[in-house]
Amino acid sequence: MKNNILIFIISLGIIVSPGCKKDFLVKTPPDKLPLDGFFNTADRALAGVNAAYIPLASVNLFGGDDISLRLFDPPTGDVILSSAISGVVFNKFAFSADDPNLLAFYSGLYQGVYRSNLVIQQVPAIQMDATLKQRYLGEAKFLRALYYFYLTAEWGEVPLFTVPFKDPNDALIAKSPIADIQKVMIQDLTDAIAGLPVSYGSADLGRATQGAAKALLGKVYLYIKDYTNAAKWFGDVINSGTYGLMDNFDQIINRNYENNKESIFEIQFASAAAGASSPVGDDREYHYWPQVNGGSSEVSPTQSIVDEFEPNDPRKDFELFYYDGQPFAPQLTTSSLNLDVYKKSWSPTGYNIRKGQVPILYINSRGTNYPLIRYADVLLMYAEAANELGQYPDAISAINKVRQRPSVNMPVITATTKDDIFKAIVHERRVELAFEQHRFDDLKRWGLVDTVLAPLGYKARNRYFPLPQLELDVNPKLVQLSGW
C-alpha cells in the first residue's frame, strides 16, 4: 500500500510536469512576424508599400483628430480654433517647441519616411514582376518625397534618412543642408515618374500616379523657385489630359465623388460604414460642424476669409455657412431638432465651414477623402510659375480656367502686369483653396507672410515651426532653429 502510494505520487509528479518540453520557454508573437526576412514576396512588398501610405491617414498627420487642422489654417487667420480643441495656441502664434501637435506632425512625417525607406531598401531584392516592382518602388519614392516636402516646408533643414535605421541611435544625427534633401526629393520623384502608371483600376484608386509625382515635382521646384522646371512639370500634368476640373464645386471634395477627375493625390479615408477606428477616418467633420449636429464648431472661419470673397462669388456659398436661413441638413431634421437651415448662432464666429462637408450626414459618418493635390491647385501653381517666367497669357489662362468652372463662372481677370497677375493668384488661391491648408505655406513661399500675418503675432522665427523640444531632448546633435 505504502509503496503503491509512493509510486502513484512519483508518477503523478512526472505526468503533470511538462518539464520535458524543450520549447516550453519559446514563445513567439501569435500576431506578428519577425522583421528579419519578412520582405520576400510580392504580396509582402505590397503590404510594405501600403504601410507607407498609412501615416497620411493617421492621427499624427491628416487623419483622426487631425493635427493638420491646428498647424496650417489657424496661423493664417482664415479659421480660429476655439478653446475646446487642443492647439488653440496656433491661433496667434502662441505655440512653443513643447507643443505636442508639432511633435505628432513631425513624428508622422518621419514614420512615413521610415516605411518608404524600408520598401526602397528591401523590395529590390525580391523576386517578382519587374513592372510591379518598379511601381512599388515608385509609390514608395513618391511618398518619401511627399513626407520630405512637408518636413522641409515646415521645418527647413531636418535630418535626412534614405535608409531605414538598424539601431535607433542611427537616428541621432544632425540636420542636413536643405539642398541635399531637395536633391533626394527630385531624384525620388524622377524615379517615381518613370515607375508609376498614369492611372489605376478601380480597386487601386488612391495610389500614387505618374501625374501625382509630376505635380509634386513641380511643387518642389516651385518652392525652390526653379520656375522653369516647375512650369515644365505642371504643364506636363495639365497637358496630359488625365485631369480636369469638376463642373460642380460641391463635388470636388465630396464623399460621393471621391478620386474624381480633379483629384491628383488624395488621402483615402474609410466612410462610416467601416465603423471602426482602424483604418482611421478623419474627424474634420466633427471639428467643423456645429454642435447642434453633433460637431463641436471648434474650427470656425473668421471674418477675414469671409471678406476675401468677391461679391457674388458662388464659392462663398459652396465653402461657407455664413447666413441665417442657408440650407443646412433638412434630411437630418427630426421632430425635436430642426436642421433645415443654418443659424449663425451655432458658431462662435457666426460661420461654419461647408466645403467638403456636404451632403451633411450625422456625425459618425466621418470618412470623406482629403485632397493633398488637386487640379485647380496645379493650375494656379502653374500660373504662378508661368507668371514668374513672364509667360503672362499662360498664367492668365490658367487662372481663368479655375474662375470659370461652370458652377463658379466668375468673370475673367483683367490683370496684365506681373504684379497684378500675382495679386490675382494670391486672391484666387485663398478663395479657391480655402480651408485646404495651403495658405500658410503659400504666404511663406511668396514672402508675404511677414506683412500679412504680423497683426496675428507673426515674427521672423515663425518662418518655420520649432523643432519639437522632446526630440531635441533625445537627440543632442539636433540644433533648434534660431529664435526658438
Site for another protein in 167-186 (CB under 8 A): 168, 170-173
CB-wise, 174 or 412, nearer to another protein?
174
The Cα 319–Cα 296 span in angstroms is: 18
CB-wise, 46 or 389, nearer to another protein?
46
Q: Among residue numbers 356 through 395, which ones bind another protein (CB under 8 A)?
A: 362, 364
Instruction: Output the nine-digit C-alpha cell for 57.
Output: 491617414
458 binds another protein (CB under 8 A): no
Contact (Cβ atoms closer than 8 angstroms) between residue 87 and residue 101: yes
Contact (Cβ atoms closer than 8 angstroms) between residue 354 and residue 284: no
Which residue in the set 79, 236, 243, 294 belongs to the binding site for another protein (CB under 8 A)? 294
The Cα 435–Cα 438 span in angstroms is: 8
125 binds another protein (CB under 8 A): no
CB-wise, 153 or 173, nearer to another protein?
173
**DSSP secondary structure string for all residues of 185-199:** HHHHHHHHHHHS-S-
Instruction: Output the nine-digit C-alpha cell for 76.
Output: 493664417
Angle made by CA atoms 461, 467, 471, in degrees to the nearest 5: 160
159 binds another protein (CB under 8 A): yes
Q: Distance between alpha carbon 52 and the CA centroid of its chain, in Å?
A: 13
Pairing of strands 299-301, 79-81: antiparallel
Which residue in the set 127, 336, 414, 482 belongs to the binding site for another protein (CB under 8 A)? 336
CB of 58 to another protein, least distance (A): 9
CB of 214 to another protein, least distance (A): 21
CB of 435 to another protein, least distance (A): 20
The Cα 261–Cα 252 span in angstroms is: 9
CB-wise, 197 or 348, nearer to another protein?
348
273 binds another protein (CB under 8 A): yes
Q: Among residue numbers 201 through 230, which ones bind another protein (CB under 8 A)?
A: 202-207
Number of residues that bind another protein (CB under 8 A): 110
DSSP-H helix ranges across 333-468: 375-388, 392-403, 418-432, 439-446, 449-453
CB-wise, 45 or 410, nearer to another protein?
45
CB of 131 to another protein, least distance (A): 18
CB-wise, 272 or 389, nearer to another protein?
272
Name the E strands within 50-110.
Answer: 79-81
The Cα 288–Cα 352 span in angstroms is: 7
Which residue in the set 32, 311, 393, 447 belongs to the binding site for another protein (CB under 8 A)? 32
Which residue in the set 72, 73, 79, 106 belongs to the binding site for another protein (CB under 8 A)? 106
HSE value, Cβ hemisphere, 13 Å, CA-based, for 211 = 24
Contact (Cβ atoms closer than 8 angstroms) between residue 418 and residue 390: yes
Q: Determine the interface stretch with another protein among 264-272, 372-380, 386-394, 435-443 (rule: CB under 8 A).
A: 264-272
Query: By C-alpha distance, which of 336, 331, 350, 335 is closest to 290?
Result: 350
Phi and psi dihedrals of 49, rounded to 5?
A: -65, -45
CB of 179 to another protein, least distance (A): 19
278 binds another protein (CB under 8 A): yes
30 binds another protein (CB under 8 A): yes
CB-wise, 92 or 427, nearer to another protein?
92
Q: Among residue numbers 7 through 26, which ones bind another protein (CB under 8 A)?
A: 9, 12-13, 16-19, 24-26
CB of 470 to another protein, least distance (A): 6
